[in-house]
Structure 1
Amino acid sequence: MLFLGVDVGGTKTQAVLSDEQGNVLAVHRGKGANYQVVGKESAVRNLKDVIEGILNKAGKTREEIDFAFFGYAGADFDYEMKIVREILEKLGLEKFDFDNDGRTALRSGVFDDIGIMVSCGTGSISYASDGRRVNRIGGLSFSLGERLGSHYIASLVTSAVMRAKDGRDDWTTLVEEVEKEIGPVENLLRYDYEGGYTAELVKRVNQALFRCAEKGDAVSLRIFDEIVVEVKKIIDAHRKALNFTPPIKLILEGSFFKNAPSLLINMIESAVGKEYEVTIPEHDPVIGAVLFAMERSGLRVTEDLYNRLVRNYLREVKK
């Protein structure tokens, strides 16, 4: 049997082709295919390119795929789900399904699909499952309650720098570290008119935050505290909605958590307590799409199969 898992984002799309034993036949990365970012026509074209690319690598055809599953960024509401389905129907796949990419990130993090996933990447989203029900929190915007995401956190940093410079708030070593990375923060004003900070700028600002927090800067540590408090609020909300039996797996996903210093992760572990097993997966969320493809075709995912798939995937991407 052959399974295709695809993680669809705005800037990149990642695909994995696997058999029922968890052997990874090919991994392929292509352009982003979130229609909200690239448009519907480009989304179809980019997805076709990704599928063609991975099939060529594996020496397989579309007809040999038993099931394909897509974790799709931007698949949030019914009208968006309809658009995504229309896009996927144009790819020539006989059997496929999809869900929000946050859902596949949760599935990727645990073999039995029971746990809580908090993602802090460009934006943020959280999914949880107790094995019977699934709960979603966030994934929308700052104006609709988001208090995580690398862009949002970078804005906390640059705000702290500006307020320290003009005397409204406490002085912080972030001033020197951030401006060493990106120049005077006042120059960022132009990004407010050009559609927001760039990904590279956000990355450099947050790296300065990491360095200052590790050196004990009080303002940086307060920002870390805000992150920890938000993570705790998210998991507490999931606990109210679902029924978990400790120990509960807490999966921290996204580029911010994966690049964060151990100091922040230790702070989160301390805040959530011993009921939680905190993990930061080394593998990518696309594995969740492969697992869903397997399950949709009737295959039962055991812990051994899960571990073998993850191990083979990591071996493939490290080549």
Structure 2
Amino acid sequence: MSALYLGIDGGGTKTSFVVIDGDGRRLARHDEPTSYYLEIGFDALRALLHRGVQAVLHAGGATAGDIAYAFAGLPAHGEDSTRLAAFDALLAGVLPRSRVGNDMVCSWAGSLAGADGISLVAGTGSIAYGEWQGRGARCGGWGEIFSDEGSAHWLARETLALFSRMADGRAEPGPLLGLVRQHFGLAVDLDLCAAINGNAARSELAQIARLTTAAASAGDTQARQLLVRAGDELALLAAGIARNLALPAGTAVPVSYSGGVFAAGELVLGPLQAALARRLPGATLVRPRFGPELGAALYATRLAGRVLSDDALARLQA
């Protein structure tokens, strides 16, 4: 049997477990809910990971001993030094050859197939990671309370703020007004306060970003402008990575992406490309080659010292 590799891509909405082999065959996948420990608690995170590992191994007809290496990319890893040891021990006793890191690595390893460049993540939260000639750098990912610009949570917050201005008469009413009323079943606009304040989990609130896209598609110019702002904020993350990696001005650096915000398609990719041209001349926006769940598995092969052949990558892509 070819060596097996297990990747875990954690996120604010779901956590994906994937097993591949060294020939680029996908053997199994399993999904669990959010692995954001600040929302579910650290004990629940540990239980989720152990449950998910057992489920994906069973689905792939494998045991822990068959796994040459595993990598788990988890949200909030590295953002509390007092928690690092606990994070790093999460898979101990379950997968003997494994490492835990931040989920930004999954996006980079997947979208760029491990090649030099910059990866933007805009899911529930936002963050960027890049590697260039052996150096790595992170930008963003400071959390939803005062940062995470361009993320689904940020878009949701800005969308609800726009709704409040429309409802008040401070902004011209647009399609967003009716979409939010319908989504929450509001009999009175102020009932939104009860629906949101103290009741909406981070991952649930982020889903409201879909209303931004729907309103923009329906011709709401103010909602469209929120997506333009998101594109600009994400371009700033890429520019921050380039600065932290000390890339010379005009370097031809590929920039890729992953996360639910990009489901808006050209409504956000167009503004992102335009903002990159302003903020990071020389950058090229490229479609992601693999998703972050396969990125986690690919990073596991790298940790094991294995480089997948072009044929294996093509098989994985197919």
Q: TM-score, normalized by length of structure 1?
A: 0.86
Pair 1:143–1:308, CA change in 2 (3 A):
same
Map 1:199-278 onto structure 2 (within 5 A): 199=203, 202-203=206-207, 205-242=208-245, 243=247, 246-257=251-262, 259-273=263-277, 275-278=282-285
Q: Following the alignment from structure 1 to structure 2, what is the Cα–Cα distance between the partners of residues 97 and 264?
A: 33
Which of 278, 287, 299 aligns to 1:292? It is 299
Q: What RMSD in Å do the two structures reach over aligned CA positions?
A: 2.5
Matches within 5 A, 1:157-172: 157-172=159-174
Q: Which runs of 4+ in 1 moved over 6 A?
A: none
Cα pair 2:78 2:84 within 8 Å, conserved:
yes
Please point out which of 83, 88, 93 is paired with 1:85: 88
Report the counterpart of residue 177 of structure 2 in structure 1: 175
What is the Cα deviation at residue 191 of structure 1? 4.5
1:117-157 CA distances to partner (integer Å, 9 max, x unpaired)? 11111111111111321111111224443322212211211
User: Residue deviations 1:14-36, cap 9 Å, x none?
Assistant: 21111111111211223444443
Report the counterpart of residue 305 of structure 1 in structure 2.
Answer: 312
Q: Distance in 2 between matches of 1:210 and 1:143?
A: 22
**Percent of aligned pairs with the same amino acid:** 24
Q: Give the letter aligned to residue 251 of structure 1.
A: S
- How far does residue 210 in structure 1 lie from its aligned partner after superposition? 1.8
Could you tell me which residue of structure 2 aligns to residue 135 of structure 1? 137
Count of paired positions: 308
- Larger helix fraction of residues: 1
Closer, same or farther in 2 for the Cα pair 1:217/1:56, shift >3 Å? closer
Cα offsets for 1:290-313 (capped at 9, x unmatched): 1121111111244443332232xx
Deviation (angstroms), 1:112: 3.5
**Larger CA deviation: 157-166 vs 38-47:** 38-47
Question: How far does residue 249 in structure 1 lie from its aligned partner after superposition?
Answer: 2.0
Structure 2: where are the runs of 5+ without partners?
Answer: none
Contact 1:108 1:285 in 2 (8 A): yes
- Residue in structure 1 matching 2:191, options 160, 168, 187: 187
Q: Which residue of 2 aligns with 1:41?
A: 43
Pick one of 119, 125, 128 that aligns with 1:126: 128
1:315 is matched with which residue? none
**Structural mapping, 1:22-41, within 5 Å:** 22-41=24-43
Residue 66 of structure 1 aligns to a residue in which SS? strand
Distance 1:261 1:64, change over 3 A: closer
DSSP 3-state at the match of 1:98: strand
Conserved 8 A contact 1:113-1:131: no
Give unpaired runs (5+ residues) of structure 1: 312-319
Asked if the contact 1:35–1:43 (Cα under 8 Å) also holds between the matched residues in 2, the reply is: yes
> Residue in 2 aligned with 1:314?
none
Give the C-alpha shift of residue 193 in structure 1. Answer: 3.5
Whether contact under 8 Å (2:119, 2:255) holds in the other structure is yes
1:60 aligns with 2:51: no
